[in-house]
Structure 1
């Protein structure tokens, strides 16, 4: 029987219940994280959990746990569910209280839920993915990994309806990020990615990628870029916990660069795979 964590307790998934006045359910008043699991081990868990707690602080939400305490709990959940390859999803809401837009006057317990999901491991993506561009209609605090994802959902659905893998969002002429990823470009062997700010989520995979650039002599700049610069780039890369480092080779029907994953993308994929194995041990394709 699959187990999940509910407010620190391990219970059967079938026994889990959420109050109808839970603020996450009614308002999206909460934060979440997703951590990848390889070989039954959490990958970059400290970075994810630090970001989770930071997001909670930005909305004045007391999660009631330290990052170290959360890591122990979710690693135990991975072991309990015998997860080898997949993800752990976790979220905190402000809790259940009579419906009111303002924070509850009386102190209430935040609600913590975590569960695992099996995802077969396929190794590096060798074929380029297709994407569309769409206006970024989300709120202005995208640095908070909140439960309010309707803007992202609408963008992703546009991509799906057009047979594409991702929707690349822009505010005016400036590219921000994908609906569920960060977007970077390569021009003349220099990787360029939007700087961390309120308009994007400072992705963990994005941060690992930049560390790999820094330690392996790959030139990069954290600066914004335009739609035109992206369309005329040599390579376009999307990064996320689930997609790792994935090449985008067709955007709005236009071929990017040579139309195949480029050398910088390929190199970063190899380095990222090495980073996974350094943290989690030897990994093999299960697809």
Structure 2
């Protein structure tokens, strides 16, 4: 996946080869920052307001002062699309750290936050969306403030790597047997026509697509229950799926090598996929609605 040449740095635009930070940068030394990933379809951001709102919430939660307002950031990101002449499917990565200063756990005084953002091409994975994916279960060893989209992702990385080594797409995380979310997505179980997912507390990331899925369910008169389910409940699921900005609404067909339902994407998941495509105005390469 290629990266477009023009990047956002602070409130200016530079070529990606010219982005440099000192070795004493708090993102590198402490993971002291937050980030966002925004989906782009045919050169247009999807759920941009929701992502910018969360970016500001995360920054406020870790006491980082951003150098712009939400409106100013929106304009900067729109300009970044235009300067790169983005017309394809892609994603934006946006990050802010507390800044560059001598290494000390205590917050430095009088320095500016470091902000950068770039756009990378990313086509839809229609095969996964059509056929569904495999997942495994892993113990959730992350900290208690997962609602903050922080740069401290090592537990997520380890879980995702374990899934990859076992030929799976995702790792479904659980604390004391209660499923929270996945390593890089929210997760849902469907039983008897009702969607179940962990409540939006500080223990999970409040996914922008997750919020949209809840609205889709409401519009389709599908019960949406913010109630956690257990690892044991997975064996009884009729359907399962996950959601994120890059995975969209993605069916899960096996967990720990056991089939979910009949081992194929189910009818409710298909309805939600259709709703997502309509909401994102995706006109080509649609998922075949086989159920």
Flag whether TM exceeds 0.5 (same fold): yes
Instruction: Supply the distance in 1 between the matched residues of 2:169 and 2:116 (Cα, whole angstroms).
Output: 29
Contact 1:39 1:283 in 2 (8 A): no
Displacement, 1:81? 1.4
**Of 5, 8, 12, which residue of structure 2 is paired with 1:9?**
12
Equivalence for 2:193: 189
Instruction: Supply the distance in 1 between the matched residues of 2:163 and 2:124 (Cα, whole angstroms).
Output: 24
- Please list the CA deviations of residues 46-105 of structure 1 after superposition, one character each: whole Å capped at 9, or x if unmatched: 00000000000001111121221111111111121122210010000000011001111x
Q: Is the counterpart of residue 231 in structure 1 residue 235 in structure 2?
A: yes
Contact 1:134 1:155 in 2 (8 A): yes
Equivalence for 1:129: 133
Equivalence for 2:289: none
Equivalence for 2:25: 22
Equivalence for 1:247: 251
Equivalence for 1:115: 118
Equivalence for 2:91: 87
Q: Is the counterpart of residue 49 in structure 1 residue 52 in structure 2?
A: yes
Displacement, 1:243? 0.3
Equivalence for 1:31: 34
Instruction: Supply the distance in 1 between the matched residues of 2:153 and 2:125 (Cα, whole angstroms).
Output: 27
The number of equivalent residue pairs is 281
Equivalence for 2:63: 60
Instruction: Supply the distance in 2 between the matched residues of 1:68 and 1:132 (Cα, whole angstroms).
Output: 40
Secondary structure at 1:98 match in 2? coil
Equivalence for 1:138: 142
Equivalence for 1:222: 226
Displacement, 1:231? 2.5
Unaligned runs of 5+ residues in structure 1 are: none
**Of 178, 185, 207, which residue of structure 2 is paired with 1:174?**
178
Displacement, 1:180? 0.4
Q: Under a length normalisation based on structure 1, what TM-score does the superposition of the two structures give?
A: 0.95
Displacement, 1:229? 1.1
Q: Is the counterpart of residue 147 in structure 1 residue 151 in structure 2?
A: yes
Q: Under a length normalisation based on structure 2, what TM-score does the superposition of the two structures give?
A: 0.94
Deviates more, 1:204-213 or 1:118-127: 118-127
Q: Is the counterpart of residue 77 in structure 1 residue 68 in structure 2?
A: no
Displacement, 1:122? 4.5
Secondary structure at 1:196 match in 2? coil
Secondary structure at 1:126 match in 2? helix
Displacement, 1:214? 1.0
Deviates more, 1:139-148 or 1:79-88: 79-88
Secondary structure at 1:125 match in 2? helix
Contact 1:62 1:110 in 2 (8 A): yes
